[in-house]
Amino acid sequence: VKVLNPVLYGRLRKAFGPVRVSNEGQELSARNAALYDGRPHMVFRSKGEYYQVNCPFCADTKHRLYVSYMYGQTHKSGRRLYFLVFCFNENCLSRSDNLEEFEDRLGDINHAFVHRGTEAPAEAKEVSLPGVCLPLSDLPARHRSRVYLESRGFDPDVLCRRFGLSYCESSRYSQASNRIIIPVYEAGVLKGWQARYIGDPDWKSAAVKTSGLIKYYSCPGAQFRSRCVYNFDAMREWQTGVVVEGPTDVFRFGSMAGCVFGNTVTEAQRRKLYSVFGLRTLVLMLDPEEFEKPRTRETVAFFRQRMGASFAAVRLPAGTDPGSLDRDWQKEYVRARAAEQGVRVVYKKVQ
């Protein structure tokens, strides 16, 4: 077996029996985060190669003790990585006597030679929330995040329950602190997040533009804005999917809507949408001026060509922000505009 840490692999085998290797050859990527909640934190971008053995401390027979190939090594931040072992069966190594016994049975490991791995593929990279995030429903009624959402016509408890919105109290990213966090999941896995500024100064004014203040701060490095369709897990349960620009448009429209984080539908997003809605119906709902842009025309052509009368492009009435329109009105508007194009919109879940 060719593994990144042959010494550790050999010792695990000797002490605990057969070893399974996962994420073979992949480099662990993590960095020490600031003490944002009073404890040293390590933020993992990718787990890297790890070894699975039967946990000797519980009745595990499914190789549920995970040991990173970097176990016992010194991280570039200077930290010894003795915590990179975990029993997924009963969390046995949270007990210090078990941890000590594990260390004893392996013997001194921190000078073992470790091969360099390869960078994990982008899909395998892990994303975590920006810091201490409190569910909106756990906050006092007068909390500014709740008051702000209510002022925009949203129910913070519904947004918390259905979309997992939280408030970030402190973060290693200054642009995420004191903002509303909108997590982006796909197949139940966190792929990224956006941090929404609380409040609405005149975003188009010169003063705001030069101040560097941004409406949405996106999780760095995650590339979710070009790869993911927001709310896709819920959207895919519907007969008709409605593609909108931003997360708040989704909150406004309802769970059959998904957003592409802007006005461009990327190649990856098109494919994703087509894979689910190719045999159902799909509506693209954007600002009128977007339809003049080459990228939008390309997107419309892509779906028209493949879906024919199962795809409609709907222009919002000029000068309106979808966020300002009420849900029933929007649904009816989309149904009527699509019908004019010979497309039958069905707001029902797929059986």
Compute how many other C-beta atoms are within 10 angstroms of the C-beta atom of residue 56: 16
- Nearest Cα residue to 65 out of 48, 82, 50, 53: 53
Would you say 196 and 261 are in contact if contact means Cβ atoms under 8 Å apart?
no
Q: Binding of Zn ion at residue 92 (CB under 5 A)? A: yes
| β-strand partners of 196 | 180, 216
Whether the CB-CB separation of 65 and 16 falls below 8 Å is answered with yes
Among the listed ranges 49-57, 112-120, 258-266, 297-305, the one in contact with Zn ion (CB under 5 A) is 49-57
CA proximity to 280, closest of 255, 258, 310: 310
CB of 99 to Zn ion, least distance (A): 11
By the rule CB under 5 A, 89 interacts with Zn ion: yes
Q: Give me the least distance between CB of 70 and Zn ion, in Å please.
A: 20
Q: Is 7 in the site for Zn ion (CB under 5 A)?
A: no
Tell me the HSE value of 162 on the side-chain side, using a 13 A CA sphere: 19
Q: Restricting to residues 107-146, which ones interact with Zn ion according to CB under 5 A?
A: none
Contact indicator for 62, 84 with CB cutoff of 8 Å:
no
C-alpha 287/C-alpha 200 separation (Å) is 20
Query: In angstroms, what is the minimal distance from the CB of 101 to Zn ion?
Result: 12
CB of 24 to Zn ion, least distance (A): 23
The yes or no reply on residue 256 touching Zn ion (CB under 5 A) is no
Question: Closer to Zn ion at the Cβ: 106 or 182?
Answer: 106
Contacting range for Zn ion; rule: CB under 5 A; set: 10-18, 51-59, 113-121, 263-271:
51-59
90 touches Zn ion by CB under 5 A? yes
HSE of 335, CA atoms in CB hemisphere, 13 A: 12
Task: Please report whether residue 101 would count as binding Zn ion according to CB under 5 A.
Answer: no
Query: Least Å distance between CB 57 and Zn ion?
Result: 5
Contact positions vs Zn ion (CB under 5 A) = 55, 57-58, 87, 89-90, 92
